[in-house]
Structure 1
Amino acid sequence: MHEDLKKVHHIKTEKAMTCGKLVEQMEKSGVMGAGKVAKATKVIEDMIRDKECTVFLGLAGAMVPGGQKQIIIDMLKDGWIDVLVTTGANLTHDLIEALGYHHYQGTHMISDEELNRKKIDRIYDVFMPDEVYQGLEKFCKKVFAKMPKEEMDIKEFLWLLGKEVPKEDSILRICAEKKIPIFCPALSDSGIGLQVWGYMQEHQIKVSAFADLKQIIDITWTSEKNGVIYIGGGVPKNYVQQALQFAPTSASYAVQITTDRPESGGSSGAELREGISWGKLDRKAKYVNVTCDATIALPLISAAVKERLEK
């Protein structure tokens, strides 16, 4: 049996080694986490190079506080991503930074009661001053006042919001400028969503989620091929998955980076191959599950893909 198998080659590191070269070594190893990272790099490279493929990025978690914002912006700017589906939290933290506020390196080994007294919010080991919400509210009220009184879908609302973002290094702004469809099905579950609700108590603004659902389904239906990249899982992942379920072409490429487990039956830990049973993933698709902290895997994979695409 072993005559038909590839040997495990041991990873060799070198001085001033690029991420691309390191991933090549991981590919030669071909097993465990290293092998999965290498395969994910290849699958993402393939879906980007495939001109018939529409690439969806499902972005969960706290990737902006986790230092991943610029990577996401570069993926959008460089044309890797055709459709973004994200949590409202990522957009809220993106907007907070665009308004001149910052996230800070903290620690999880601290009294949360002390942080509460100092009005500091904690996201594991990331600190954020609570005062950011005052600036967020002021900005949102100003922008909301300019928005149309007619009902908008969330995508249109986020584009209008993104156009007003003062800094260029913003996920919201780049999506607005490049007209990249940006869906946030759980927008109400976020700081921006709270601002919309608060504004609605005294003013007229209507944002509907159901028009977005039709739009993302239309995209999956009209695409020659579909490819998905899931950072985490949750609502962003399932929103894309349900759009793929009834499309004539299920996903031809898929990469998932998550730390969640499949045994509980939740979307965040569900293996990609489970989607084959639902018709969400093609039986012959190129796919890989990477069980890893996304703040470790994503920078390495994106740097290696960028290096390959520039050759």
Structure 2
Amino acid sequence: MNDAAINDTRKAELLSTTVEHIDIKSFDARPIIDAMGKMSFTSRDLARATGIYNQMLEDPDCTIFLVIAGSTSAGGCMDAYAELVRSGMVDAVVATGASIVDMDFFEGLGHKHYQALEVPDDDTLRSLLIDRIYDTYIDEEQLQDCDHTIYKIANALEPRPYSSRAFIREMGKYLVEHGKKENSLVKLAYEHDVPIFCPAFVDSSAGFGLVKHQVDCMKAGRPYMVLDAIADFRELTDIKIKAGTSGLLMIGGGVPKNFIQDTVVCAEILGHDDVEVHKYAVQITVADVRDGACSSSTLQEAASWGKVNTGIEQMVFAEAGSVIPLLASDAYHRGHWKTRAKRAWGKLFD
């Protein structure tokens, strides 16, 4: 057997077990959340956070923002987030480019994430074109297909500025026509007019495709499409102004967390002195606050900046993949979403 065949066999062995995304409809977490509410420590924090999320769903005036940072989508929560969009349990999404492109759009194209049943030397993984996220694998060759698809979408667009929301909408449209996975967040968001914002969009596989689009257009002397980060901030702030009451369900921190919280301050700068701070807020994170990092600033701290109401907030210090299934399943089975009006904020920009 030659070296190429040996490598192919080894790669197939390492990529033999796919990550199966959890189905929040398949089990009812209400009894365990109720029991956790009678406990202490993180269990009680999670029960209170779940209660706050249910309050958001019950409030007929509340627009809910799902805010995602980190790798929970690759780790098995992808279908949970998709269900929140399908069932009208969130109205807009703010996320990292990796969550939207390298994870969701990637699987929408028919590719998979894989469980690492063993973790060999990372140089070995590199030689096999396997990328690693802790104990999860991605086939680099499949990821490059994602890069090239982004390139193809960009080439087909009119050469002008686009917010990340507008470009991601084109990605959703592409998946409707060419996708291979029904339960894609990007696809469902397009179908339900739920806008997705990625304030650091090029920090993902989208970046490679968009750079290639720009370079190729420059070489050919043609104009090219560009991403307008200012439009991102303006559009998201516009939703906040028109929404009034709002709630945040935040997984992780980083740029997405700060971006959505800053819409309150931005609205004030634009002369909307009556804009409401985010009334409800839940953050699930493992980040430490002692280094002063913005990613891990508590929601109480955010109140000092005039971003979040201190009355209805909860920090949950836990790995999100272990608690999001419980929170989302509880909210799904309590059913407040069934009578909730869908905002369809995506239509605001048509």
Query: If the length of structure 1 is used for normalisation, what is the TM-score?
Result: 0.90
Partner in structure 2 of residue 256 of structure 1: 283
Distance, in Å, in 2 between the alignment partners of 1:308 and 1:112 is: 44
1:268 aligns with 2:303: no
The counterpart of 1:72, out of the listed 66, 73, 81, is 81
In the alignment, structure 1 residue 36 sits paired with structure 2 residue 45: yes
Give how far 1:169 is off. Answer: 1.6
Please state how far the C-alpha of 1:246 moved relative to its aligned partner.
4.7
Q: Which moved more, 1:161-170 or 1:271-280?
A: 161-170
Offset of 1:140 from its aligned partner? 2.5
- Is the aligned partner of 1:242 residue 2:262? yes
Q: Give the Cα separation in 2 of the matches to 1:176 and 1:132.
A: 23
Does the CA contact (< 8 Å) of 1:246 and 1:279 recur in 2? Answer: no
Matched, 1:63 2:90: no
RMSD of aligned residue pairs (Cα, Å) = 1.6
1:192 to 206, 219, 228: 206
Contact 2:147-2:205 within 8 A present in 1 as well? no
State the Cα distance separating 1:110 from its structure 2 match: 2.7
The code of the aligned residue for 1:252 comes to K
The 3-state SS of whatever aligns with 2:324 is helix
Q: Which residue of 2 aligns with 1:303?
A: 329
Deviations 1:276-311 (A, max 9, x none): 11111124x311000000000100111111111269
Q: What SS is found at the alignment partner of 1:89?
A: helix
Q: Give the Cα separation in 2 of the matches to 1:173 and 1:274.
A: 35
Q: Secondary structure at the match of 2:282?
A: strand
Query: May I ask how many residue pairs the two structures share in their alignment?
Result: 293
Equivalent residue number for residue 179 of structure 1: 193
> How many Å apart are 1:138 and its aligned residue?
3.5
Counterpart in 2 of 1:227?
247
Does residue 278 of the first structure (1) align with residue 305 of the second (2)?
yes
State the SS of the aligned residue for 1:261: coil
Q: Distance in 2 between matches of 1:186 and 1:254?
A: 22
SS of 1:131's partner is helix
2-structure distance, mates of 1:153, 1:81? 20
Mapped to 1, the partners of 2:130 and 2:160 lie a distance apart of 38
The unaligned stretches of length 5 or more in structure 2 are 1-26, 218-223, 268-274, 339-350
Paired letter, 2:280:
Y
Shift of 1:107: 4.9
1:64 is displaced (CA, Å) by 1.8
Query: Structure 2 CA distance, aligned partners of 1:218 and 1:143?
Result: 27
- Match of 2:150? 140
Could you tell me how far apart the structure 1 residues matched to 2:308 and 2:327 are?
A: 22
C-alpha separation in 2, matches of 1:141 and 1:116: 24
Distance 2:118 2:238 in 1: 43
| Residue aligning to 1:47 | 56
Q: What is the CA-CA distance between 1:245 and the residue it aligns to?
A: 3.0
Q: Partner residue of 2:15?
A: none
Runs ≥4 residues deviating over 3 A = none
More helix by percentage: 2
Aligned equivalent of 1:84, options 86, 93, 108: 93
Deviation at 1:244, TM superposition (A): 2.2
Residues 46 and 138 of structure 1: is their aligned pair in 2 closer, same or farther, counting only changes over 3 Å? same
Q: Distance in 2 between matches of 1:272 and 1:43?
A: 14
Out of 290-299 and 273-282, give the one that drifted further: 273-282
The equivalent of 1:13 in structure 2 is none
**Is the 8 Å Cα contact of residues 199 and 229 (structure 2) preserved in structure 1?**
yes
Q: 3-state DSSP class of the match of 1:66?
A: helix
Mapping of residues 1-40 of structure 1, within 5 Å: 18-29=28-39, 31-40=40-49
Answer whether contact 1:108 1:124 (CA < 8 A) is retained: no
Contact 2:113/2:136 (<8 A) preserved = yes
SS of 2:288 mapped into structure 1: coil
Matched with 1:131 is 141
Unmatched 5+ stretches in structure 1: 1-16
> What is the rounded CA distance, in whole Å, between the counterparts of 1:275 and 1:140 in structure 2?
35
What letter matches 2:64 in structure 1? Answer: V
Give the conservation status (yes or no) of the 8 Å contact 2:155–2:213: no
2:309 match: secondary structure: strand
Match of 1:114 among 106, 116, 124: 124
- Show CA shifts across 1:26-68 (max 9, x none): 1122x21110110011000000111111111110001221111
Alpha-carbon deviation of 1:264? 1.0
Structure 2: which amino acid aligns with 1:270?
S
Inter-partner Cα distance in structure 2 for 1:307 and 1:150: 44
Larger strand percent: 1
